[in-house]
Amino acid sequence: MNRNQHPGRDGASFGEAELSALRNRVGQGMSPKRLIHTLAVEQMTARLCALYCPEETDLLRAAALLHDITKELKTEEQLSLCRELGVPVAPGDELAPKCFHARTAAALIPRKYSAFDHPVVVAAVRWHTTGHEGMTLTEKLVYLADYIDESRTFPDCVALRNLFWDAHPEDMAPEERLSHLNRVLIASFDMTVRNLVAEGQIISPDTVMARNDLIRQSVQAGDGVQ
């Protein structure tokens, strides 16, 4: 194993060659549109890693490539995959059907992509849709990259992309750069919650907890609330 490779849970490791093979493999299981998004998330994740944690780049590239592998399954298929993989489903979960794919994709990694079965990869995939209380830096980066990848043209995504990059995080001191990330994440949760309310949708408790937690941290850090 060279220093650019990462040990997986079972002693598996990966580097550039494995990532390239993964790119091909995930591309075979999704529509061209989803693949364009997936590759754009990988690129954006790499840009964010360069700013925040270069040493995690390969792990998070893998997470980006795997984050939407089950996105195109129908709700019925998600539910049967949950049963097959032992993913717990609570009554009412089917009212937030778009949240299933993060859970099923994370659960599939040890089974079908064991070379990438690393806790950082699995957690980033698991929390990429809703976030959760106590998000780690690596979870935040994949969550944000998914929102602001360059292929997204939805006005909120463009606004969030500009909010992040127009502040020139590359010129910020490390602490300020982390506060900036948290502020942009809070703005993203605000957008998500607003859209869900406008559509009359259920809001996942994880979405609410993630937002509250980030606001709490921001106030404690003296950043105030936006």
For helices 137-148 and 119-126, give the axis angle rounded to 10 degrees: 50
Site membership for ligand DGI, residue 213 (CB under 6 A): no
Residue 11 per-residue DSSP state = S
Site membership for ligand DGI, residue 71 (CB under 6 A): yes
Q: How far is the C-alpha of 101 from the C-alpha of 121, rounded, in Å? A: 15
Q: Total residues at the site for Fe ion (CB under 5 A)?
A: 2
Q: Total residues at the site for ligand DGI (CB under 6 A)?
A: 18
165, 215, 170: which is closest to 193 by C-alpha? 215
Among 192, 210, 214, 215, binds ligand DGI (CB under 6 A): 192
The residues in 172-211 that bind Fe ion, with binding defined as CB under 5 A, are: none
Q: How far is the C-alpha of 71 from the C-alpha of 100, rounded, in Å? A: 8
Find the shortest distance in angstroms from Cβ 201 to ligand DGI.
Answer: 4
Q: What is the dihedral of CA 152, 122, 51, 14, to 10 degrees?
A: -110
Q: How far is the C-alpha of 132 from the C-alpha of 138, rounded, in Å? A: 13
The residues in 99-138 that bind ligand DGI, with binding defined as CB under 6 A, are: 99, 102, 128-130
Site membership for Fe ion, residue 68 (CB under 5 A): yes
129, 138, 162: which is closest to 52 by C-alpha? 138
Site membership for ligand DGI, residue 30 (CB under 6 A): no
Site membership for ligand DGI, residue 182 (CB under 6 A): no
Nearer to Fe ion, 44 or 184 (CB): 44
Q: Which residues are at the interface with ligand DGI (CB under 6 A)?
A: 37, 68, 71, 96, 98-99, 102, 128-130, 146, 192, 196, 201-204, 207
